[in-house]
């Protein structure tokens, strides 16, 4: 498809619901006792994969178009699927389910699309095996399909995480809340904490002190009403677009600003972006963001900040191509095991448009500002690469053709229409 070209962005937009929280709301609803009502659920392909997975496990889930209602059965109420469960492109679904299903007493096989089946699962499976889980995958890195042979007993774990990953941590927590005794988890760096927060929301107990987590099991959770805030990872593309396109001024409504997810706002503040926080909702950790066009300066991003903006690094790389100076991103090895190798994908696609960008072993070096030109580019089947390239097209000097644009629907089915709604008529 030919991407929209640049014109000032104006107006307001309600960004889609948070993907991470939508996934977990269904999961917690299923393993709790009683009814869970989910408002503002993200009906994107990834999250629907989670819904379908739990329906296959015997959980009743109704969607009336306004709210999702999950009839919780508790861990013990889940039942075997009659066939292997297809989780599509959702790494969150497959990784968290491995921990959640480790003590079911029955066998479950999970698989995904071609992209997901190339993503390593050993980083999740290895700590779960220490707890007594029996999980099989393919090859040394334990690629999907994976088979979880649910055990009747799991033991607690004392585990120092080798990678800063919320998915790995969450899988361990789903197993630990079923194990008899107290588990102790030490994070490499603090990653998004939605699982920890939702354990407490659903009546569970967990203790977090810095990078240390203590959780005792087994615990019984209770159904809850959840309102999902807007996804800052989706908002990031509009923040970038309004920052880069001259004379833009937009307001993004109901954006989730959980402190473990707001690294991009801190980075953009350092780079000189014009972003104002309004109408902060403390209970739901959400706010409105007012964004205006700005000239950017290069920066350095590394260490503890990386897990707090891991999904936003491709769009930050694009922003850096238009910033004055050299931006260095390091400690971002996790980008290599996303839907694509996002380090290589970002570099190779932006280079097609003339960016002065290079890959390193654990990140990126970007020199700017550099004009971007017309090109034919590809999402490579990765939703975030596809959305990043749409923003790049806004500042290119000619038409940009995006191949595999359908990948964007994995997390944001209405992305291109929403972008069009903010572009003034001269950009149509």
Give residue for tokens 């104002």.
276
Would you say 293 and 272 are in contact if contact means Cβ atoms under 8 Å apart?
A: no
Would you say 303 and 278 are in contact if contact means Cβ atoms under 8 Å apart?
A: no
- DSSP letter string over 382-397? -HHHHHHHHHHHHTBS
Look up residue 275 and give its two tokens.
């972003």
Would you say 156 and 132 are in contact if contact means Cβ atoms under 8 Å apart?
A: no
Sign of torsion over alpha carbons 95, 103, 75, 225: negative
∠ CA 415-401-237, rounded to 5°: 30
Q: CB burial class (10 A; 0-12, 13-18, 19+) of residue 351? A: middle
CA 28 to chain centre: 17
Look up residue 322 and give its two tokens.
């238009």
Residue 286, phi-psi category: left (phi > 0), alpha (psi -120 to 50), beta (remainder)? beta
∠ CA 272-276-282, rounded to 5°: 130
Nearest to 162 by CA among 125, 194, 195: 125
Q: Which of 46, 288, 311, 382 is catalytic?
A: 311
Residue 279, phi-psi category: left (phi > 0), alpha (psi -120 to 50), beta (remainder)? left
Work out the end-to-end distance of the chain between its first and last CA atoms, rounded to an integer number of angstroms. 14
Contacts (Cβ under 8 Å, ≥6 apart) of 327: 298, 299, 300, 301, 317, 320, 364, 365, 366, 368
- Structural Rg of the chain based on CA atoms: 21
Burial code of 362-394, b = ≥16 C-beta within 10 A, e = fewer? bbbbbbbbbebebbebbbbbbbbbbbbbbbbbb
Respond yes or no: is residue 311 known to be catalytic: yes
Residue 149, SS3 per DSSP:
strand
**CA-to-CA distance for 131 and 149, rounded, in angstroms?**
13
Which residues are known catalytic residues?
A: 311
């Amino acid at each position: 498809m030919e991407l929209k070209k640049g014109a000032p962005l104006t107006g307001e937009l309600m960004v889609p619901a948070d993907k991470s929280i939508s996934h977990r709301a269904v999961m917690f609803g299923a393993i709790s006792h009683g009814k869970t009502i989910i408002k503002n659920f993200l009906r994107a392909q990834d999250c629907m994969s989670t819904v379908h997975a739990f329906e296959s496990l015997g959980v009743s889930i109704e969607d009336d178009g306004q709210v999702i209602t999950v009839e919780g059965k508790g861990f013990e109420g889940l039942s075997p699927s009659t066939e292997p469960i297809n989780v599509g492109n959702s790494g969150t679904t497959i990784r968290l389910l491995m921990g959640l299903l480790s003590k079911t007493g029955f066998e479950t096989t999970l698989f995904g699309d071609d992209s997901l089946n190339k993503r390593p699962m050993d980083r999740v499976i290895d700590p779960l095996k220490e707890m007594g889980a029996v999980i099989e995958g393919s090859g040394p890195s334990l690629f999907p399909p994976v088979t979880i042979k649910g055990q009747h007993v799991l033991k607690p774990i004392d585990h120092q995480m080798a990678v800063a990953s919320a998915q790995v941590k969450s899988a361990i927590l789903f197993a630990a809340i079923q194990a008899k005794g107290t588990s102790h988890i030490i994070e490499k760096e603090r990653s998004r904490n939605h699982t920890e927060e939702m354990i407490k929301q659903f009546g569970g107990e967990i203790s977090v002190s810095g990078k240390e987590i203590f959780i005792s099991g087994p615990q019984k959770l209770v159904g809850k009403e959840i309102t999902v805030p807007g996804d800052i990872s989706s908002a990031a593309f509009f923040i970038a677009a309004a920052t880069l396109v001259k004379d833009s001024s937009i307001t993004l409504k109901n954006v989730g600003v959980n402190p473990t997810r707001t690294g991009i706002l801190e980075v953009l503040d350092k780079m000189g972006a014009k972003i104002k926080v309004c109408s902060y909702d403390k209970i739901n950790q959400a706010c409105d963001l007012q964004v205006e066009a700005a000239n950017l300066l290069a920066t350095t991003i590394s260490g503890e900040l990386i897990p707090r903006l891991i999904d936003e690094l491709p769009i930050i790389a694009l922003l850096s191509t238009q910033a004055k100076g050299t931006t260095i991103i390091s400690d971002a090895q996790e980008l290599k095991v996303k839907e694509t190798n996002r380090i290589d994908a970002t570099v190779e696609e932006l280079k097609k448009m003339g960016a002065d960008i290079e890959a390193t072993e654990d990140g990126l070096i970007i020199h700017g500002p550099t004009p971007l030109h017309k090109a034919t580019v590809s999402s490579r089947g990765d939703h975030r690469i596809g959305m990043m390239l749409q923003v790049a097209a806004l500042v290119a000097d000619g038409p940009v053709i995006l191949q595999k644009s359908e990948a964007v629907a994995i997390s944001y089915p209405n992305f291109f229409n929403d972008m069009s709604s903010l572009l003034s008529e001269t950009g149509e």
